[in-house]
Amino acid sequence: MDMFGGTKEHILPGAKISALGCYVPPGVLTNQDLEKMVDTSNQWILERTGIVERHIAPPEMATSDLAVEAARIALAQRGVDPTELDAIIVCTVTPDMLFPATACLVQNRLGAKGAWGFDLVAACSGFIYGLTTAAHLVMAGTHQKVLVIGSDTMSRIIDYTDRGTCILFGDGAGAMLIERAGPGEGFIGFLNEIDGSGGDYLKQPAGGSRMPATAATVAQRLHFVKQDGQQVFKYAVRKMYEASRDLLEKHGLAAKDVKLLIPHQANRRIITAAAERLGLCSDQVIINIDRFGNTTAGTIPLATRDAIEAGRLTKGDLVIFAAVGAGFTVGVNLWRWEY
Ligand SMILES: CC(C)(COP(=O)(O)OP(=O)(O)OC[C@H]1O[C@@H](n2cnc3c(N)ncnc32)[C@H](O)[C@@H]1OP(=O)(O)O)[C@@H](O)C(=O)NCCC(=O)NCCS
């Protein structure tokens, strides 16, 4: 007997991904363009990262603009009016401003009058943390429709004189609609971790309360991304593998059960090394870093869109999303694809 005197076991509703929309700005920055900006080469970038080109937003476009474009496509795909949304989660490290939250700007532009929302800061794991959060809001029974948006305008915080970082990042956004589903449909489980001891390896040092903007912080280029690439690389390979392995094991699943690994796109070598350790073959892994670079919170939806368009992800497939990012943050989700 439960606390309400009932005898029936409480069955939680499920949460499914029911629509997807993506947007990248039209401008493209190629490896050849970068050769003219820093001491690098197309060959080095291709071999070390797998990136060919990335999209860059025009000066008048900010993160909320990319987010609204992606959100409108997702909502139109499902025929959902913005007023039906219960919550909007914007995952980003490049908000239009520190406050108001970009979620508020997006909510206003969409006319999502019934939604609350917030920004979620988890860098490259942001979209997966957003999916995890949205799934639980829906499964709690308190929300019917939650929109998760990953949107980043990385070009605004990248130092285009630093060849170690400027070759990696691009701008882009993607949105997924999470809706109530039948028990057992859609969301299966998650394994998310943070490890703040790695915080110094990838950060934007200035602009917060620790180091507010001054003429000196600007002169020292402290408002740009600073990274120890090798440390991040090693951690990313290990954790993307370990967390994915552990989540599959927890659910009694093996690599052969997975239709697709949709990984965060930070470096082709990180993805292939993690996938090999997991025992996945190449047709079980989506890689589209060549066309977009690392769009931070945008990579997972952008890669999912490519998987769908290529006919590699269809209803009933088991999909694992995996990411590692600044923080450090680690995020892995298992979903049954439902449309
Ligand atoms: C950044 C990254 C591509 C660098 O690749 P790497 O193989 O680790 O290269 P290293 O940092 O060891 O540098 C090797 C050499 O290449 C040089 N180099 C770095 N960037 C270069 C570039 N764009 N073009 C040419 N040479 C470059 C370095 O200066 C170094 O030269 P040195 O040996 O004379 O000192 C790689 O470390 C990486 O992808 N890290 C993870 C990044 C990431 O995932 N970030 C986001 C987290 S979500």
Q: Point out the ligand 1 atom lying closest to the alpha carbon of residue 49.
A: 3
pLDDT digits (tens, 9 = 90+) for 215-271: 999 999 999 999 999 999 999 999 999 999 999 999 999 999 999 999 999 999 999
Residue bearing tokens 């499920």: 14
- Asked if the model's pLDDT at residue 12 lies above 60, the reply is yes
Longest Cα pair distance anywhere in the chain, in angstroms?
A: 72
pLDDT digits (tens, 9 = 90+) for 117-147: 999 999 999 999 999 999 999 999 999 999 9
| 147 residue type, one letter | L
pLDDT digits (tens, 9 = 90+) for 176-198: 999 999 988 999 999 999 999 99
CA torsion, points 120, 157, 265, 99, in degrees to nearest 10? 10
> Cα(74) to centroid of ligand 1, in Å?
36
> Cα(233) to centroid of ligand 1, in Å?
9
Question: CB of 294 closer than 6 A to ligand 1?
Answer: yes
The helix/strand/coil state of 209 is: coil
- Looking at residue 285, its pLDDT comes to 98
Structure tokens at 82: 């913005």
> Among positive and negative, which fits the CA dihedral 258, 263, 269, 270?
negative
- CB 322: neighbour CB atoms within 10 A? 28
Question: CB of 163 closer than 6 A to ligand 1?
Answer: yes
Strands 318-325 and 260-263: parallel
Mean pLDDT (the chain, rounded): 96
Name the residue among 132, 57, 122 with its Cα closest to residue 91.
122
> Cα(236) to centroid of ligand 1, in Å?
14
Cis amide prior to 328 (ω within 30 degrees): yes
SS3 assignment for 289-319: HHHHCECHHHHHHHHHHHHHHCCCCCCCCEE
